[in-house]
Structure 1
Amino acid sequence: MRSPIARTRRPLPRPCGELSAAVLEALRTPAGSPVPGVRSADPCDRDLHSALHTCYALHYEGFDGVDAEWEWDPGLLGLRAELESRFLAALHAETAGGADLDAELDELLAVPAEETGLSAFLRDEGQPWQLREYFVHRSILHHQEADPYAWLIPRLRGQAKAALVAVEFDEFGGGHGDRIHQRLYADLLAGAGLSPDYLHYLDVVPAPMLALVNMMSLFGLHRELRGAGVGHFAAVEITSSPGSRRLVDALTRLDADPACVLFYREHVEADAVHEQLMRRGVIGDLLAREPELRESMVFGIQATTMLEQLFTDHVLGCWCEDRTSLLAEVAEISRDATTLGSGAD
């Protein structure tokens, strides 16, 4: 049995603008201290998403040296609500909406004649340094994989609750701590020669991934957005298995460390089952109970697809220009490496 990974709370992230700097400054003081106003904040800007992610992180593992009472501080919650409002408005503005849930689900399942996208690129021509950059981006999500969906559980009833818990049970290792998907991803990072520490790479990940992770927390924390949360979760589970299969092929081609392959192979097998549980067990039963949530589910799927596409466009756009997709070079990522493992040169 593997020894547990030592956990220490992460220090506060670095500021990337006026808003995030003000939030960080407040969190260094006792809870109840004045918090900044929002003023102008672009809902697509990293400054807003860094500030929002910092607020949300207080509901997860928190930060070293931050007063625990900040989690429910009324002033900070008011600031967070304003940031959420701007982000949510931007998501609605960039999605078509509607009530044709079956069409959205069928689109997710459709297999194009010519596969494109990030996982297809990595499978066919990705280099070790590009896989490592991809792992760094996704670490911000996978370090808390499935946690935001746990907030949906008390907001569901009957078969919808039971099916969602069944999916979560697998995500959390089926009762085995060393099989929790968050742990498997930490093992993947270590196997690729990267740091497995919680949110270690937060400061180098640009806005598209932060926005995607913030959306998960936004949907999970608000009962009125439970339909969007279910739609998002379904979109993830439906698209995960094919994408993971492509990444297994990429890692096999590059003779990657077994821990890297294991993470994605686990998702090929598990998420093929989860897709049916989400579509029939969760969505089907929830709509039978609350048909008014159909449009919210559509919104959750569309918002997920849109943000994933923004992330893909950013990463592939940078790589096509032969430059890093991160905000700064990561010391562990070498463009000269020919293999993908912790011992790669």
Structure 2
Amino acid sequence: MSHAPFPYEPFELHGKQLQEAVLRYASNPVYLDNEEWENDDNPYRRQLRPQVVEHLDFDRVPARSEILEYTSLAAQRILTSIYEADLVFLPDSGLKGKYEDFKNFYSPTNRALGEAVRPALERFAFGFLDQEVETSGKWTAESLEAYLASLDANLPGGATLAEKAIRSSSDPERAARMWLIQFAPDFLSEASPMIRNVLGHYGEAQSEWFKIVIDEYGYGVHDTKHSRLYEQTMQSVGLKSDLHHYWQYYLNSSLLVNNYFHYLGKNHELFFRYVGALYYTEATLVDFCRRAVSLLTDVFGDTADVRYFTEHVHIDQHHGRMALDNLIRPLVAEHGEQIIPEIVRGIEEYRVIQDIADDDFATQIAWMDAGPEYKKLHAPVWEAISSGRVTPPVAHIVEPNGELSNTHCHDGDELCHIVSGTMKFVSGFDSYQILEAGEGTVIQRNRLHGAIIESEECVYQIHSVGDYKSCLS
């Protein structure tokens, strides 16, 4: 009998196998398109648009310039669903009428299919960070301390692009609600990614990390649990607070931020990267929350319940110190300087992702505010097409009353032209234009949007113009 070891081959899905496996996962009944814009107290329903997923290529690593394209949005939506199958979600109103969805979401098949495609989707979703962050060279405990000091993470910072976009918006209340919606995937299940890292056995640091988790969960008192406070913030400004009620309004980059921490927590070989990201998050959150209190109060007045943010101002000053003194420094002392590049990488990757999300949100608000202007642009762009001066690819579509195009984006600019009927074109939460026959709108690349038909029938065309400005010359 031979005792030669069986050759080990890592599990990887590529090509057609990967495409078929992703489609099989996304075809679960709970992931099919919705007939309404919002999910009503059903945390298992998430629109993954499997009819489009089957045409997408996840077997590559996009560049940073590509990560706001539709394939990345699809990947982030799918990853959110895969990660959250590890978490327990129950509807506020109970499981009556939703028990089949509950079983479908947590079924062994759904979880197994999700885990099979997860490594490939993570490579697709986060692989660009390999090109964005470099932590080579000799790192020592001393150079780590110098690097952390250089971040000035505890000092007040200026307003972000997102915050400026809200304050300067033509509809600040709408913009602020859209902003609060973007945090819901994280804040309504707060600390869930973090809990992945307090399981196991790794000494005193484990107990120190658990103290941070306990704080996030309000020391077992439900009304002081951070996610409960965020529910009340949303409710105070007229938003629903049931989980993923606003799934269709989550931006690509908002899911990227939330999924990044699940990615680090799910893959324990990235444990030290999470330690770095945790420190930076906790250290900078205090100033962010101060600005959030000011912003929400300025926009909504005293009606905004800002306790979620004031609570973090008090607690996270302590958490930042805990992450540095009780996690980073002891772990480096125990496990050596070899882990420092990973700690630094977690910080730097999170900073890159923050910048992407900040710019993406500000751009979306500008797109929402400029809805009437993009509608006016239809005329000159349509003239260029109808005259034959430009001949872009075109899709001819006929849809009945009530047909809902679940939210998505395009990789290039498009012109929507209404031949007959009426369409409600939606560019974000509470943001829309009514398009009648002969009208239309320019759809900006990478911008989240959807539509619903409001006439008995609507005939329209989608022209893939690439860059709409090329039609104006």
The structure 2 residue matched to 1:89, chosen from 100, 121, 127, is 127
Aligned: 1:220 with 2:265: yes
Question: Within 5 Å, which residues of 2 pair with 1:17-32?
Answer: 20=53
3-state DSSP class of the match of 1:283?
A: helix
Q: Which structure has the greater CA radius of gyration? A: 2
Q: Hey, what does 1:153 align to over in structure 2?
A: 198
Question: Please, what TM-score do these two structures have when normalized by structure 1?
Answer: 0.79
Shift of 1:16: 4.6
Shift of 1:19: 6.9
Structure 1, unaligned runs of 5 or more = 1-6, 23-35, 335-345
Question: Within 5 Å, which residues of 2 pair with 1:166-177?
Answer: 166-177=211-222
Shift of 1:318: 3.2
Shift of 1:272: 0.8
C-alpha spacing 1:162/1:40, structure 2 compared with 1 (3 Å): closer
Tell me if the contact between 1:109 and 1:238 (Cα under 8 Å) persists in the aligned partners. Answer: no
Question: Please, what TM-score do these two structures have when normalized by structure 2?
Answer: 0.59
Question: Within 5 Å, which residues of 2 pair with 1:119-138?
Answer: 121=164, 127-138=172-183
The structure 2 residue matched to 1:208, chosen from 246, 253, 258, is 253
The structure 2 residue matched to 1:10, chosen from 16, 24, 43, is 43
C-alpha spacing 1:245/1:50, structure 2 compared with 1 (3 Å): same
Tell me if the contact between 2:133 and 2:348 (Cα under 8 Å) persists in the aligned partners. Answer: yes
Shift of 1:254: 3.2
3-state DSSP class of the match of 2:305?
A: helix
The structure 2 residue matched to 1:314, chosen from 352, 360, 377, is 360
C-alpha RMSD of the superposition: 3.1
C-alpha spacing 1:329/1:124, structure 2 compared with 1 (3 Å): closer
CA distance in 2, matches of 1:142, 1:114: 22
3-state DSSP class of the match of 1:254?
A: helix
Structure 2, unaligned runs of 5 or more = 1-39, 90-100, 372-406, 409-425, 433-473
How many residue pairs align between the two structures? 313
Higher relative contact order (CA 8 A, sep 6+): 1
The structure 2 residue matched to 1:267, chosen from 305, 309, 312, is 312
The structure 1 residue matched to 2:78, chosen from 33, 51, 55, is 51
CA distance in 1, matches of 2:292, 2:319: 19
Q: Hey, what does 1:29 align to over in structure 2?
A: none
The structure 2 residue matched to 1:283, chosen from 328, 345, 354, is 328
Among all aligned residue pairs of Structure 1 and Structure 2, give the percentage whose two residues are the same amino acid: 20
CA distance in 2, matches of 1:263, 1:184: 5
Q: In proportion to residue count, which structure has more strand?
A: 2
Tell me if the contact between 2:277 and 2:346 (Cα under 8 Å) persists in the aligned partners. Answer: yes
User: Runs ≥4 in structure 1, deviation > 4 angstroms?
Assistant: 16-22, 36-43, 110-114, 122-126, 326-334
Shift of 1:323: 4.6
Q: Hey, what does 2:280 align to over in structure 1?
A: 235
Shift of 1:332: 5.7
CA distance in 2, matches of 1:103, 1:17: 48
